[in-house]
Amino acid sequence: MEMRADLVIVGAGMVGSALALALRHSGLEILLLDGSALSVKPFDAQAPFEPRVSALSAASQRILERLGAWEGIARRRVSAYSDMHVWDGSGTGQIHFSAASVHAQVLGHIVENRVVQDGLLERLHDSDVGLLPNARLEQLRRSGDEWLLTLADGRRLRAPLVIAADGANSAVRRLAGCETREWDYLHHAIVTSVRCSQAHRTTAWQRFTDEGPLAFLPLNRDGQQDWCSIVWSTTPEQAEQAMAMDDAAFCQALERAFEGRLGQVLAADPRLCVPLRQRHAKRYVQEGLALIGDAAHTIHPLAGQGVNLGFLDAAVLAEELVRACERGERLADVKVLSRFERRRMPHNLALMAAMESFERLFQANPLPLRWLRNSGLKLVEQMPEAKALFVRQALGLSGDLPALARA
């Protein structure tokens, strides 16, 4: 059997699902396929936190609200944070950001990826978007003006336009021969949730250690403030050692690495270790094809920006496709798709470059660089306007915003 659609989105993760929802009223026949079951799990408020979480910006929240998904997300479990505290573990420099400095109530929300995904899927199941669960893409080739997609179970699909939202190891990107620039951060990230003896005070904490950044992100369960999600970026050797420790030893090592800022680390959930790699596609588009989200770019989690960039990609691409539909243009035309690339690539590249420099500066050990970063942090701490600018950037409410993210 061969299926046909105007548009096939490969990957129904957070970003692919957001794109499908953003196009649900476009009149286009859309197929959204994913290798997983695409089922929405019943939510248990007492269940442990999922290890994978994202710090969602205000712009992402707006997009999710307009897609009708935020209500289902907030009904499950979200943790607002109002402050951010960053410090240099091998110096005295520190900096504090607060939502109040720009008259906002929150800087963002920490949300489990599963919760975001379920909020989006819930809306998709109520929409006209064609969902193909358990559909793993295996082959992709040009056939005239269309793409022919073959799934692992032999099913075949045809479409003039394919969107790759299939994550960091995108099969579409590989099969379509899209080139990337990539390099290893020589960092692994350990992620889990931990319980601390002191309240997190709705603050996101980040300590730069000699081995890499360590973040404690506030989690909220029934108003209690003792759980944090941690992202501990460190050398592969140290990550291997930390993964091999029993819970008590791991909690002690973590508490030491975090200088005990939230008191004792009392308990830890099962840990996950993720190798970190920066990747950026040289082009996001070609005739009949566009890459979005992690398929187009993966970035160090120290910025907490990966999926925020992905949601903006999805919103901008949807906006350009709808506009092209209204003008009667051919959507698969590389000229149409390039408008999306022109709006998103400079923004993504600028953020990736900023994060890269930040990461290098904090990894650097020579004395002049350590002096520079400590003095830099202290200087910026004294500059309320510079800090407010940074906070507005973090909220994601500046620059060329798609209508879905605008106030």
Which of 78, 140, 191, 401 binds ligand FAD (CB under 6 A)? It is: 191
The answer to the question of residue 301 lying near ligand FAD (CB under 6 A) is yes
Q: How far is the CB of 305 from ligand FAD (least distance, A)?
A: 5
CA–CA separation, 222 and 312 (whole Å) = 31
Site for ligand FAD in 235-294 (CB under 6 A): 274, 293-294
Looking at the Cβ atoms of 163 and 370, the one nearer to ligand FAD is 163
Scan for tokens 């959930």, then name that residue.
269
Q: How far is the CB of 214 from ligand FAD (least distance, A)?
A: 12
Q: How far is the CB of 191 from ligand FAD (least distance, A)?
A: 5
Site for ligand FAD in 137-156 (CB under 6 A): 137
- Assigned token pair, 51: 């290890």
User: 213 has which bridge partners?
Assistant: 208
Looking at the Cβ atoms of 173 and 195, the one nearer to ligand FAD is 173
DSSP string covering 51-92: S-EEEE-HHHHHHHHHTT-HHHHHHH--EEE-EEEEEETTSS
147 near 132, Cβ under 8 Å? no
Report residue 140: phi and psi, to 5°. -145, 125
Number of residues forming the site for ligand FAD (CB under 6 A):
33
Q: Among the candidate windows 165-173, 337-345, 358-366, 380-388, which touches ligand FAD by CB under 6 A?
A: 165-173
Sign of CA dihedral 182, 183, 185, 191: positive
Looking at the Cβ atoms of 52 and 378, the one nearer to ligand FAD is 52
DSSP string covering 190-214: EEEEEEESS--TTEEEEEE-SS-EE
Which of 310, 320, 331, 401 binds ligand FAD (CB under 6 A)? It is: 310
x-or-dash string of contact with ligand FAD, 42-71, rule CB under 6 A: ------------xx----------------
- Nearest-5° Cα angle at 264, 263 to 269: 125
Looking at the Cβ atoms of 139 and 252, the one nearer to ligand FAD is 139
Looking at the Cβ atoms of 119 and 293, the one nearer to ligand FAD is 293
Which of 119, 304, 396, 402 binds ligand FAD (CB under 6 A)? It is: 304
Site for ligand FAD in 192-221 (CB under 6 A): none
Residue 104: which of 54, 53, 55, 57 has the closest Cα? 57
| DSSP one-letter code for 154 | S
Q: How far is the CB of 38 from ligand FAD (least distance, A)?
A: 8
HSE at residue 48, side-chain half, CA atoms within 13 A, is 13
CA–CA separation, 258 and 354 (whole Å) = 24
The answer to the question of residue 34 lying near ligand FAD (CB under 6 A) is yes
Q: How far is the CB of 67 from ligand FAD (least distance, A)?
A: 14
Which of 7, 20, 95, 165 binds ligand FAD (CB under 6 A)? It is: 165
Which of 119, 218, 306, 402 binds ligand FAD (CB under 6 A)? It is: 306
Q: From residue 303, how far is each of 140, 214, 300, 325, 327 by CA, in Å?
A: 33, 12, 7, 35, 38
Site residues, ligand FAD (CB under 6 A): 10-16, 33-36, 54-55, 136-137, 165-168, 171, 189, 191, 231, 274, 293-294, 301, 304-308, 310
